[in-house]
Amino acid sequence: MDTPSFRSQHMPVRPSQEHPFLGRDPLDHGCAIFTVIESLQQLGLESWTARLLSWLGRFEGLERHLEEDCDPVLCVRQILLRHVADQPRGAGEQKGLADVTWHSIVHTIVAQPFVQVCCDWSIDGLRPRIRWDPIEHTFLQFLALGHADEDLSVWTPAAGMPCRARKCASMLQGKAR
């Protein structure tokens, strides 16, 4: 499998409109989730697939409010592709190494900028009525809580969100099913 570069994954994909691609490309956003699943399998971490996808789903829709290089699915895809590229042959079959790899992946994921993003609903930038917490609500659930007269604010605090990162790491590192 060719590993795309970090830069190329965020460049606008111009898929061929001709047969057989008909507008699709292996590096487009729609295919990224399949690469996430395949990478977990290659790393011997398929037992973590449901947990990672469920957690990642908490951020679905947020990519529309972020710079392209902060897209949650693309960031996770790139992290996993780096681990696949760095993995020694046959390493995915070693249980102890898979546990270390998963811990490293989780640590890298929760350090990504999208995990630190804050959002709230407020009127005219005044005190927020409700703030998004991805532990409590998916982003799409949070969007549905907004009122027509409110503005959605999206920002990243300079100090980050270390407490959120720890909670996300705990969610991701729970026992595999």
- 5: tokens are 């570069």
Q: Is the pLDDT of residue 89 over 90?
A: no
Q: Is the pLDDT of residue 176 over 90?
A: no
Mean pLDDT on 96-113? 93
Say what the pLDDT of residue 94 is: 63
pLDDT band at 71 (very low <50, low <70, confident <90, very high): very high
Q: Sort 139 into a burial class: Cβ within 10 Å, 0-12 / 13-18 / 19+.
A: buried
Torsion of the alpha carbons at 85, 49, 112 and 31, rounded to the nearest 10: 70
Say what the pLDDT of residue 23 is: 66
- 125: tokens are 């930038």
Mention every residue, 6+ apart, whose C-beta is less than 8 A from residue 39: 77, 80, 81, 83, 84
Mean pLDDT on 155-174? 95
Mean pLDDT on 135-151? 96
Edge-first strand order for the sheet with 151-155 is: 130-131, 118-122, 151-155
φ/ψ of residue 66, rounded to 5: -120, 165
Report the predicted TM-score, pTM, of the whole model to 2 decimal places.
Answer: 0.83
Q: Is the pLDDT of residue 8 over 70?
A: no
C-alpha distances in angstroms, 45 versus 27, 78, 81?
22, 16, 13
Say what the pLDDT of residue 12 is: 56
**Residue from 105, 119, 117, 118 nearest 36 by CA:** 105
Q: What is the mean pLDDT of the chain?
A: 87
Say what the pLDDT of residue 13 is: 55
Q: The tokens 């449901």 sit on which residue?
A: 50
Q: Is the pLDDT of residue 135 over 90?
A: yes
φ/ψ of residue 151, rounded to 5: -110, 145
